[in-house]
Amino acid sequence: MPEGLEAEIYRSAAATLVGRKVTAISVDSLCGDEHQLRSVINGRIEDVARHGKFVDIVTTRGVIGMHFGMTGRLIVDELAAIDRLEYGSARDDRRWDRIILQCGNSVIRVNDPRRWSRYSLDPDHSSLGIDLLSSKRALATALRSASHRTSAVKGVLLDQHLIAGLGNLLADEVLFDAAIDPARSFDSLSEQNHLTLTESIFRVVRTLGRRGGSHTGRVGPAIRRVGALCPIDGVELQRRTIAGRTTFSCPVHQS
């Protein structure tokens, strides 16, 4: 998915329809409750907000919370906010539209082949942690609050209750940048590691954001395959499953 950076791109695309009235809604039965969501029909879009990986369409008749799962793409008026999603389909088959918000002449829809996107009315984001685009100070505080945790560093970065918006690609990219082994237990990190990690999250997230998304990093999709070499050390990257997710890291400079 759609990690926090992609969600931000979607947010900004949908925000172009602020002021419009929602005139019709259809929702895939697996991805949301159409009957419930239809209650925002005739509401006017007042704002489009983002919380981590969620995009909220705020209307005068309620909020539609959108989560894009692994392969959801938000498209406004046939203009895909992101043309290509690495593990989504290259195609844009209308059969995979899971929610369609008609707004007069305009349309906001989410095309999601894998059907893991979710839509809810008046979502509660109170359990989400700080946003991935927060200040260094807030990031450092969040990390410190997890300093006792014994699970892998990577797993902690992926915990949405701690930092909302970091996903698999960003987490790998951050740890590659911070030169920290993703498998290390979080409670083994030194004071220096915490500083470096804070710095890396802040910098990597903003850099990739500027470049256009989570997939534009040094250990991005192009290099996420067996046999690929570390762009820094030239040795073969390690592929492991950590915290349940495919993880690539450099056995030389990450420790």
Partner DNA sequence: CCAAATGTTTTCCC
Partner DNA sequence: CGGGAAAACATTTG
Q: Which residues bind DNA (CB under 7 A)?
A: 1-3, 6, 30, 52-53, 67, 69-70, 82, 85-91, 95-96, 113-116, 149-152, 155-156, 158, 160, 167-169, 213-215, 221, 224, 243-246
| Cα separation, 26 vs 34, whole angstroms | 6
**Contacts for 254 with CB less than 8 Å, ≥ 6 apart:** 175, 176, 179, 180, 181, 182
| C-beta closer to DNA: residue 33 or 46 | 33
Task: For the chain, report the end-to-end CA distance as a whole number of angstroms.
Answer: 27
| C-beta closer to DNA: residue 103 or 213 | 213
| Cα separation, 49 vs 196, whole angstroms | 30
| C-beta closer to DNA: residue 8 or 178 | 8
Q: How far is the CB of 226 from DNA (least distance, A)?
A: 9
Q: How far is the CB of 66 from DNA (least distance, A)?
A: 12
| C-beta closer to DNA: residue 35 or 95 | 95
| Cα separation, 205 vs 171, whole angstroms | 10
| Cα separation, 27 vs 194, whole angstroms | 43
Q: How far is the CB of 214 from DNA (least distance, A)?
A: 4
Q: How far is the CB of 218 from DNA (least distance, A)?
A: 15
